[in-house]
Amino acid sequence: MNRTSKDITVLVTGGTGFIAQHCILALLNLGYRVRTTVRSLTREAQVRAQLKTGGAEPGDRLSFVAADLGSDEGWHEATAGCAYVMHGASPTPTGQQTSEDDWIRPAVQGNLRVLRAARDARVQRVVLTSAFGAICAGHAPMKRPFNETDWSDLTSQNVWPYQKSKTLSERAAWDFVAREGRGLQLSVINPVTVVGPVLGADYSHSIRLIRGMLDGQLGNPRINSGFVDVRDLADLHVRAMTHEAASGERFIAIAGESMWLADVALLLKARMGPAGRRVSTRVLPNWLVRLGALRDPALRGSLPLLGRNLNATGQKAMSLLGWSPRPREEAIVATAQSLVRLGLLRETRSQ
């Protein structure tokens, strides 16, 4: 007899994460039982509160397991009885990393730790959240949009440690499944900049891009980026989890064409009314950004991106999985509206 979604448990790693929480919401809305990992069970109340902001109060349909990507402890319990795993927990830019190894080792070892546990628990498929950084870095200017056949060129000097970690950890995942997977299926999603409604003050680094504009940053580097709404990204995770054709495939998650940051600022200025009054539409000259990077290590990773068109195509996900993301403009404005609604902008935070 075929199982229905209410009989299926899905593990979502890193339950405090922005993408993970929207994946949990999507799964709960479809009737699945969800288990999620957190580094400490003291975070359960926070996660449940943020899911409530997203409209879900799952009760015992959501369970928690303490597990850290740096240790084997907890992963057997986390994967036991799960049909699928959505794995996106990974190091992100925090400013605390001091060497490439601080980025690469936990990303690679974390992926392998989850994949081993999933294989041993006889999980059917793992959906891995990689990044566009595993695709776009280190290339000469492209005349076509990036697609899923592209991999970041790690021989280039212009590869940020974060992008290198994403590239090596994704490659390690594919190699593991090919050599040691014993039938474990893998699908990989490579999202561009992820925006959309935040659920609380703990959100991803990509949201800071929008918040910085609304908070009145001095201007915008000449940087180009694709955007995708986190709700559509969660939908793509579910499609990659369940669609037969998704096994063994990568999918770029992007809505429409990429945008220059100055155009994002213009959009916010036009659409956000009083909340957009601090937004600067000024384009910062490259020399000024390079000068700022001498003092601010967080800016250094953006230097190789100056003036580069990073357009990509999400056509594969649309044609193969029937994915249909909302327009990029709607995703960006929804991000800003949620920051206003939750009082997370500088003006409201200081009140």
Residue 164: what pLDDT?
93
Residue 58: what pLDDT?
96
Q: What is the tally of structural domains in the chain?
A: 1
Token digits for 327? 């327009």
Is residue 351 one of the residues assigned to a domain?
no
Average pLDDT over all residues of the chain: 93
User: Is residue 308's pLDDT more than 70?
Assistant: yes
Q: State in Å, rounded, how far the first CA of the chain is from the last one.
A: 58
User: What's 133's domain CATH number?
Assistant: 3.40.50.720
Residue 186: closest CA among 90, 116, 91, 110:
116
The residue range of the domain holding 92 is 5-204+226-256+312-326
Residue 350: what pLDDT?
46
Active-site residues, by number, are: 166
Is residue 245 one of the residues assigned to a domain?
yes
Do 163 and 133 meet the contact criterion of CB atoms below 8 Å apart?
A: yes
Rounded to whole angstroms, the Cα distance separating 259 from 224 reads 5
Q: Summarize the confidence of residues 138-151 as an average pLDDT.
A: 94
User: Is residue 277's pLDDT more than 70?
Assistant: yes
Please name the residue that has the structure tokens 């390690």.
172
Q: Summarize the confidence of residues 110-133 as an average pLDDT.
A: 97
pTM listed for this prediction: 0.95
Please name the residue that has the structure tokens 């566009």.
132
Q: Summarize the confidence of residues 278-284 as an average pLDDT.
A: 97
Place 309 in a pLDDT band, splitting at 50, 70 and 90.
Answer: very high
pLDDT tens digits along 238-251: 999 999 999 999 99
Is residue 343 one of the residues assigned to a domain?
no
Is residue 94 one of the residues assigned to a domain?
yes
Is residue 215 one of the residues assigned to a domain?
no
Residue 94: what pLDDT?
55
In this structure, the number of other CB atoms found within 10 A of the CB of residue 271 comes to 15
SS3 at position 2: coil
Token digits for 51? 């899911």
Residue 216: what pLDDT?
95
pLDDT tens digits along 163-184: 999 999 999 999 999 999 999 9
Rounded to whole angstroms, the Cα distance separating 122 from 83 reads 8
User: Is residue 201's pLDDT more than 90?
Assistant: no
Place 327 in a pLDDT band, splitting at 50, 70 and 90.
Answer: very high
Is residue 124 one of the residues assigned to a domain?
yes
Is residue 293 one of the residues assigned to a domain?
no
SS3 at position 13: coil
Residues paired with residue 126 on neighbouring β-strands, in sequence order: 85, 186
Q: Summarize the confidence of residues 218-229 as an average pLDDT.
A: 96
Do 161 and 100 meet the contact criterion of CB atoms below 8 Å apart?
A: yes
Is residue 300 one of the residues assigned to a domain?
no
